[in-house]
């Protein structure tokens, strides 16, 4: 059984099968840049019954939660400091996504945690997370960042 607030060092295509139905409120992913359509179709099949086009169509027609914060259409952020991952994302952007599309106490899934930015954004916004990261080195970086975040409760971690 999958535990909440934990990153698993495993292929998400394996890990996703262990997540019980209807236990995730929001999927927030930053997939590897070379992902192809065939991979998307497989991930969509594992996540639900939709293929990618149907999922996109459904998403366009209905958003379940949108906590409007009068956000502009383009969010500008400073590039973040390198943390050992090649493509880390700013925590503030992830916090915005999570705050606008989920509620406190919800569970957020990130299949491609990288250096753990989504997990840290979840800690700051009082959400639970489930994460997967295939690369052992990135998994260790993520784990260390999360431990530091929980220990220091710092407001700015990059
Ligand atoms: C674009 S990066 C995510 C960066 C992350 N948002 C951050 O801020 O650090 C995508 C990550 O997906 C991981 N990955 C690729 N294929 C995967 C798979 N099948 N299962 C789990 N992780 C995978 C890569 O190792 C990489 O770290």
Per residue of the chain (158 residues), give pLDDT as tens. Answer: 899 999 999 999 999 999 999 999 999 999 888 766 667 777 777 766 556 666 667 666 666 677 776 777 777 788 788 889 989 999 999 999 999 999 999 999 999 999 999 999 999 999 999 999 999 999 999 999 999 999 876 555 44
Rounded to whole angstroms, how far apart are CA atoms 69 and 100?
7
Q: Positive or negative, the Cα torsion across 119, 115, 24, 14?
A: negative
- With tokens 């700015």, the residue in question is 156
Top mutation candidate among 112, 117, 121, 142 for ligand 1, by most atoms within 8 Å of CB: 112
Radius of gyration of the chain measured on its C-alpha atoms: 15
Ligand 1 centre and the CA of 60: distance in Å?
A: 25
Query: CB–CB of 143/116 below 8 Å?
Result: yes
Residues framing ligand 1 (Cβ under 6 A):
11-13, 30, 32, 85, 87-89, 111-112, 114-115, 117, 132-135, 138
19: closest CA among 151, 117, 124, 128?
128
- In three-state secondary structure terms, 156 is coil
Ligand 1 centre and the CA of 133: distance in Å?
A: 6
Q: Residue 98 has what pLDDT?
A: 96
């Amino acid at each position: 059984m999958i535990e909440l607030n934990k990153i698993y060092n495993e292929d998400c295509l394996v890990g996703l099968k262990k997540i019980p139905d209807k236990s995730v409120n929001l999927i927030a992913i930053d997939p590897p840049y070379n992902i192809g359509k065939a991979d998307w179709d497989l991930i969509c099949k594992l996540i639900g019954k939709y293929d990618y086009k149907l999922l996109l169509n459904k998403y366009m027609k209905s958003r379940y939660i949108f906590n409007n914060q009068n956000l502009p259409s383009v969010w500008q952020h400073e590039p973040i400091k390198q943390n050992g991952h090649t493509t880390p994302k700013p925590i503030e952007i992830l916090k915005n996504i999570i705050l606008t599309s989920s509620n406190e106490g919800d569970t957020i899934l990130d299949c491609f945690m990288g250096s753990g930015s989504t997990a840290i954004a979840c800690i700051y916004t009082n959400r639970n997370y489930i994460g997967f990261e295939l690369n052992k080195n990135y998994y260790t970086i993520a784990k260390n960042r999360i431990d530091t975040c929980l220990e220091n409760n710092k407001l700015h971690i990059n």
